[in-house]
Amino acid sequence: MLSLSQRAERIAQSDIRTMSVECERVRGVNLAQGICDTPVPAEVCAAAERAIESGYNQYTRLDGISALRQAIAKKMRSFNGIVADPENEIVVTVGSTGAFYCAFLSLLNPGDEVLLFEPYYGYHVHTVEAVGGVPRYIALRAPDWVFDRKDLEQAITPRTRAIVVNSPANPSGKVFSRAELAWIAEVAQQHDLFVFTDEIYEYFLYDDARHLSIATLPGMRDRTITISGYSKTFSITGWRIGYAVCSERWAGAIGYYSDLAYICAPAPLQHAVAAGINALPESFYQGLRRDYKQKRDLLCQALAEAGFSSRVPAGSYYVLADASRLPGRNSKDRAMYLLENAGVAAVPGGAFYHDDSGENLLRFCYAKTDADLQEAGRRLQRIAVRS
Ligand code: PLP
């Protein structure tokens, strides 16, 4: 009898995709999926067209073209404070998602335990599981999304191999403080753990929040795999350009697995992202912060007026709001109620927890046009008045 592998038997369609399908059905405003509705910078688009016309359409070196590795190295030094050799410490990957998969394949053994902060980004958990690792959870407590150092220490067992840190975070919008990253660094060194970071929202910071890469803390450079990409920064989620920055000891294996699965990231788009990194001035990144702060404020105000309480996020482009005032047995019911009665799609909070802690929560994405956010605000108002 043919059957799926034991691994594949556990897979289920993500709630994010389900909500997007449902949203389309009722022609709602989709604040569920983290797809950027904001424009791609003109320089980046033009460079992609030029690259295709110039014939950069074939396989590249497995760890990416030199121009992109050099551009990333320059950016890592100036923005993140990490000095990385573009020849052997940077691997360009098929999105940061590809970097995670290849890094886990390279550094985790089946049965290894990996600590993740919860609410988590589902891909982190499912990718740990896909390579045979075992996720363990550390609670970030609402409304401030702080964690207890004791919880982190108590989660360590002889099988613990790594910690995943996503800052700024999806879905909570949390930006880990220097003190929190220092605790994590201390624990990682005490127990000889890897740290995998997801810094994809590193430019999406508001008010006085600052980005800090844990690899820059003392003793962390060699045990940290710093992962990021340009999906969000350049609004190119479909282009699939990400990267991992780490010691040469690990980069070779990460490149090997990336080659095995993908051969390389899309060639002309590597050229375009390199051109974008080199060409775009500081004011582009400041503009990003300014525009997204405005979007955040627009959505947070609409949510507050509709009776959904939330912590105004310091980073990323999501708000995880308390929707306990909506009827339903769980977060899926609440998300469906909101979609059917207000025409706004959000992701059920249960998608970000391994237990029932998220059943009163809904995640809203504000990487949307101002017109869509305003329309969502009007629709949320309707539900506020009616109930
Ligand atoms: N990491 C986080 C935390 C995300 O929210 C997302 C997309 O929503 C990704 C990674 C995906 O990144 P990429 O497009 O580089 O694979």
Which residue, chain included where needed, has tokens 């990718």? 127
Which residue, chain included where needed, has tokens 């990231």? 265
Q: How far is CA 376 from CA 33, 227, 344, in A?
A: 14, 33, 6
Low-confidence ranges of the chain (pLDDT < 70): 385-387
Establish if 1 belongs to a structural domain: no
179 and 138 co-located in one domain: yes
Most ligand 1 atoms within 8 A of CB, residue of 92, 97, 240, 258 to mutate: 97
The answer to whether 362 touches 356, Cβ cutoff 8 Å, is no
CATH of the domain at 295: 3.90.1150.10
Tokens of 282: 């500081």
The answer to whether 139 touches 118, Cβ cutoff 8 Å, is yes
Backbone angles phi, psi at 161, to 5 degrees: -125, -25
What pLDDT is stored for residue 166 in this prediction? Answer: 98
104 and 199 co-located in one domain: yes
CATH of the domain at 179: 3.40.640.10
Neighbours of 189 (CB within 10 A): 15
d(CA 116, ligand 1 centre) in Å: 16
Is any ligand 1 atom within 6 A of the Cβ of residue 306? Answer: no
Ligand 1 atom index nearest CA of 121:
3
Is any ligand 1 atom within 6 A of the Cβ of residue 93? Answer: no
d(CA 198, ligand 1 centre) in Å: 8
d(CA 382, ligand 1 centre) in Å: 32
66 and 192 co-located in one domain: yes
Establish if 129 belongs to a structural domain: yes
353 and 222 co-located in one domain: no
Is any ligand 1 atom within 6 A of the Cβ of residue 200? Answer: yes
Q: Which of 279, 302, 317 is the last residue of a domain?
A: 279
Is any ligand 1 atom within 6 A of the Cβ of residue 231? Answer: yes
Establish if 262 belongs to a structural domain: yes
Backbone angles phi, psi at 267, to 5 degrees: -60, -55
Q: Whose CA is nearest to atom 8 of ligand 1?
A: 34
What pLDDT is stored for residue 387 in this prediction? Answer: 47
Q: Which of 248, 279, 310 is the last residue of a domain?
A: 279
Domain that holds residue 346: 6-40+283-386
272 and 292 co-located in one domain: no
Establish if 95 belongs to a structural domain: yes
Is any ligand 1 atom within 6 A of the Cβ of residue 170? Answer: yes
d(CA 311, ligand 1 centre) in Å: 22
Establish if 364 belongs to a structural domain: yes
What pLDDT is stored for residue 33 in this prediction? Answer: 83
23 and 158 co-located in one domain: no
Q: What is the Cα–Cα distance from 293 to 126, expressed in whole angstroms?
A: 30
The answer to whether 346 touches 338, Cβ cutoff 8 Å, is yes
Residues with Cβ within 8 Å of 371's Cβ and at least 6 positions away in sequence, in order, are none
Tokens of 235: 């609004």
Most ligand 1 atoms within 8 A of CB, residue of 31, 36, 37, 96 to mutate: 96
The answer to whether 133 touches 112, Cβ cutoff 8 Å, is yes
> What does the radius of gyration of the chain's CA atoms come to, in whole angstroms?
21
Is any ligand 1 atom within 6 A of the Cβ of residue 119? Answer: no
Most ligand 1 atoms within 8 A of CB, residue of 123, 203, 204, 269 to mutate: 123
The pLDDT tens digits for 322-360 are 999 999 999 999 999 999 999 999 999 999 999 999 999
Q: Give a three-class secondary structure readout of the chain.
A: CCCCCCCHHHCCCCHHHHHHHHHHHHCCEECCCCCCCCCCCHHHHHHHHHHHHCCCCCCCCCCCCHHHHHHHHHHHHHHHCCCCCCCCCEEEEEHHHHHHHHHHHHHCCCCCEEEEEECCCHHHHHHHHHCCCEEEEEECECCCCECCHHHHHHCCCCCEEEEEEECCCCCCCCCCCHHHHHHHHHHHHHCCCEEEEECCCCCCECCCCCCCCHHHCCCCCCCEEEEEECCCCCCCCCCCEEEEECCHHHHHHHHHHHHHHHCCCCHHHHHHHHHHHHHCCHHHHHHHHHHHHHHHHHHHHHHHHCCCEECCCCECCEEEEECCCCCCCCHHHHHHHHHHHHCEECEEHHHHCCCHHHCCEEEEECCCCHHHHHHHHHHHHHHHHHC
CA torsion, points 88, 112, 101, 210, in degrees to nearest 10?
-70
168 and 220 co-located in one domain: yes
Q: What is the Cα–Cα distance from 228 to 247, expressed in whole angstroms?
A: 16
Count of structural domains, the chain: 2
201 and 327 co-located in one domain: no
318 and 171 co-located in one domain: no
Is any ligand 1 atom within 6 A of the Cβ of residue 171? Answer: no
Ligand 1 atom index nearest CA of 241:
15
d(CA 200, ligand 1 centre) in Å: 6
Q: What is the Cα–Cα distance from 365 to 367, expressed in whole angstroms?
A: 6
